[in-house]
Amino acid sequence: MKIQRNAAVGFIFITLLIDVIGFGIIIPVLPKMLAEMNHISINEASKYGGYLLFSFALAQFIFSPVMGNLSDQYGRRPVLLFSLLGFGIDYLILAFAPSYSWLLIGRIIAGITGASFTTASAYIADISTPENRSKNFGMIGAAFGLGFIIGPLLGGLLGQLSLRAPFYAAALLSFLNLSYGYFVLPESLSEDLRRPFNWKRANPLGTLRQLGRYKQIGWLLIAYFLLFMGGHAVQSTWNYFTMYHFQWNEAMVGFSLALVGVLAGVVQAGLAQKAANKLGIGKSVYTGFALYTAGMFLFAFASSTWMMYVFLIPYCFGGIAMPNLQSLMVGKVPANEQGELQGGLTSLMSVTTIFGPMLMTHVFYLFTSPSAPIVFPGAAFFLGGIFMLMSFLITFLLLKNYDSQK
């Protein structure tokens, strides 16, 4: 039984790793692919990239709780395998897409079936014991971090061969993992623990509404929301900005994003805790927001390639804020409401994933188009910096005396 559980945990890790690699692998090639497909410039392609991100995120926001509820009724295994099948089909559609509308269809399919993270988390909860639960859930974070290093790097290298090559590779990875899972993945949810599908529980807005109950952390939730909105300036426009402004190729984009993954991993692996021990939780939060803000404004006015790499350091080190902000919010909410809080935070983050990319890619295009009031390629980063500056001001005013009062 222990061997079977270990194999299952290993499969979940590989599943999540492949999913994240599949997401990151296409980022370096997407700008040129959209530009060539629509016969437009790189900066105008950013708008179309924003629509792709929007369609994926909206479909995932709506269907993620649906898939989670289906896994409660039919078990985790069929839903996980269905998710992998959906991702594989999506990447094949992207690889062979003759027009932009096909890309949209592929991204919507991926959003609908992309419940692998939700279902994988439920699977881990099913098979874990109190002694190894933290370790097993830690593997989810590790899969994220490693995937965002390998994915862009591999995508940048494959993009040198062909703009479609990364999509073929992502499809192959998904179908290989589907085959592996079909033969080795056991069901984790026994028949007696299953429950009927409930549409009320599948309401994606339900958990979001619950956040309104936590008045004691209301301003911290606003800072959390603003941080993720601002972060989409990097997540959604980095590839378009660097290709347009500095003429980077796919390999350079992939390498830079892999470096972001490494730096973020260093921060998450222990620097955030060390900052809390040395500075205090409150000071760590607003210091992190200050570093994020500085990084964003520096990106906005960067004039050389080397600057983008140097400015990644303060930006990524801003990552000390998030774990400590979450720790602070958790400490202000009763123990029996922690699950509800985490669900609400996930929903809040999902909302920024729907609207953030659209906003940032359109701002980037607006200030690089022929009709731009002023030509300012870094406009999206500047807007992201404003969002993060507001987060800094909120947390600084709330927490400047927090550590001394404890």
How do residues 270-314 score in pLDDT, each as one tens digit?
787 788 888 888 898 999 999 999 999 999 999 999 999 999 999
- Please report the pLDDT score of residue 405 as a whole number: 63
pTM listed for this prediction: 0.86
Residue for token pair 């290093």? 149
Rounded-to-integer distance, Cα 280 and Cα 398, Å: 14
Backbone dihedral region for residue 383 (phi beyond 0: left; psi -120 to 50: alpha; all else: beta): alpha
Helix axes 250-266, 133-159, angle to 10 degrees: 160
pLDDT value at position 77? 78
DSSP-assigned letter for residue 374: S
d(CA 129, CA 151): 31
Q: How many CB atoms lie within 10 A of CB 3?
A: 7
Domains in the chain and their CATH numbers? 1-184 (1.20.1250.20), 213-406 (1.20.1250.20)
What is the C-alpha to C-alpha distance for residues 250 and 247, in angstroms, rounded to an integer? 10
With the C-alpha atoms ordered 255, 54, 207, 19, is the resulting torsion angle positive or negative?
Answer: negative
Encoded tokens for 215: 């008045």
Is the sign of the CA dihedral 189, 190, 195, 196 positive or negative? Answer: positive
Rounded-to-integer distance, Cα 239 and Cα 254, Å: 9
CA–CA gap between residue 245 and residue 10 (Å, rounded): 42
* Cβ atoms of 307 and 378 closer than 8 Å: no
Each residue's pLDDT, cut to its tens digit, for the chain (406 residues) gives 444 556 677 777 777 787 788 778 888 999 999 999 999 999 999 999 999 989 988 888 887 777 766 767 777 778 788 888 888 888 899 899 999 999 999 888 888 876 566 667 667 766 766 666 656 666 766 777 788 889 899 999 999 889 899 889 888 888 888 887 788 776 666 666 666 666 666 676 776 776 677 677 888 889 999 999 999 999 999 999 999 999 999 999 999 999 998 888 888 767 877 888 888 888 989 999 999 999 999 999 999 999 999 999 999 999 888 888 877 877 777 665 655 566 677 778 888 989 999 999 999 999 999 988 899 999 999 999 999 999 999 999 988 877 666 5
Surface-to-core class of residue 369, CB atoms within 10 Å of its CB (0-12 exposed, 13-18 middle, 19+ buried):
middle
Which two tokens mark 382? 């500047």
Selection from 149, 380, 393 nearest residue 263 by Cα: 149
b/e sequence 223-255, b meaning 16+ C-beta within 10 Å: bbbbbbbbbbbbbbbbbbbbbbbbebebbbbbb
